Amino acid sequence: MDSTVTTGQETNVWGGGNQPLGVSYGKLMMWFFLVSDALTFSGFLAAYGFSRFKFIESWPIADEVFTHVPFFHGNYPMIYVAFMTFVLIMSSVTMVLAVDAGHKMKQNAVIWYMFATIIGGAIFVGSQAWEWSTFIKGDHGALETKGGRILQFVKADSGERASLSDFAVSIPDERVVHESKNGIWFFQEGTSTSFSLNEVVEGFKADTNILIRTELINEEGEKTLLDRQSSLAKLADAKEVVEGANLIHNEYGTRLFADFFFFITGFHGFHVFSGVLINIIIFFNVILGTYERRGHYEMVEKVGLYWHFVDLVWVFVFTFFYLV
């Protein structure tokens, strides 16, 4: 058609190469990806909030769950996770410094700042792995009732938590191990707890210094402590021994807490892990001089955006899992 007349001005607008938002294509797409990823995390955290509001009276208290610091014994809530938060913010800072050095085309500075960022990320992922293994291994042990509620134990005189090993008696019994020759449908042996239900119950009856603590949070914001009489009555509901946490059982309280903990910190940890990998790739590109030849360090800026986003998400995970 002859009517398609192109004037110079139209070529400028529609001819390509325009940046109405003032950023390059790659950076814009990184931003859009981050927006969608932010919505994914928001969905997870909102679901967590949903379950928590549903069981607002019996949700585990984070300060009583995450109390360990590597290489130290004792009860230090918050300290280690505060350290992790600081490491991640610090690695965010070295990342901004790398981007800043990239703008000034200082190759060596970018290399060192990227290196520091990767180390920070690795420390964080390692810390999270340690946090997971501590959580999975468990602390004091507890009993689970028929309704799936958790009963924990407290020493009456000191008010401290009592571990199962503090009071459980040892009752010798024969445990027959199921072997593959005895069944056509052989499944792996399930893991057994260090004490049987019977041993814990008998030990509880023998030791008058032990009380039961239920999941219910009282008006002072603490878990409800039963007296000796009602403790013994409650004990009749117990169905099995729980040590540590997994997706089905959780000695710290409602199992949803463990599910969301694994799911959200796991998803975040996976982001950190892939962030470290991407950082390593870019790190080698910087060393090889790829961006020096390209004339700009925008790739460093793009992975930087991703890395800061990981930090941003952690700020929210920290608040909703450990603080609130």
By CB under 8 A, name the binding residues for another protein.
Answer: 20-24, 28, 31, 34-35, 38-39, 42-43, 46-47, 49-57, 63, 77-79, 82, 85-86, 89-90, 92-93, 95-97, 99-100, 103, 145-147, 149, 216, 221, 237, 296, 298, 301, 304-305, 308-309, 311-312, 315-316, 318-319, 322-324
Minimum CB distance to another protein smaller for 166 or for 298: 298
Smallest separation (angstroms) from another protein to the CB of 184: 37
The number of CA neighbours under 13 Å toward the Cβ of 47 is 13
Q: What is the dihedral of CA 25, 29, 32, 34, to 10 degrees?
A: -130
CA distance 134 to 286: 38
CA distance 110 to 283: 8
Smallest separation (angstroms) from another protein to the CB of 304: 8
Minimum CB distance to another protein smaller for 53 or for 185: 53
Minimum CB distance to another protein smaller for 99 or for 276: 99
CA distance 216 to 136: 23
Smallest separation (angstroms) from another protein to the CB of 35: 6
3-state secondary structure of 59: coil
Minimum CB distance to another protein smaller for 86 or for 270: 86
Minimum CB distance to another protein smaller for 261 or for 318: 318
Smallest separation (angstroms) from another protein to the CB of 166: 26
Smallest separation (angstroms) from another protein to the CB of 147: 4
Smallest separation (angstroms) from another protein to the CB of 210: 21
Strand partners, 142: 242
Locate 40 and state its tokens. Answer: 């994914």
Minimum CB distance to another protein smaller for 267 or for 316: 316
- Find where tokens 């280690």 sit: 80
Burial 120-143 (b: 16+ CB within 10 A, else e): bbbbbbebbeebbebbeebbbbbb
Contact 188, 180 (CB under 8 A): no
Locate 117 and state its tokens. Answer: 């960022």
Separation in Å, CA 69 to CA 95, 242, 289: 27, 23, 41
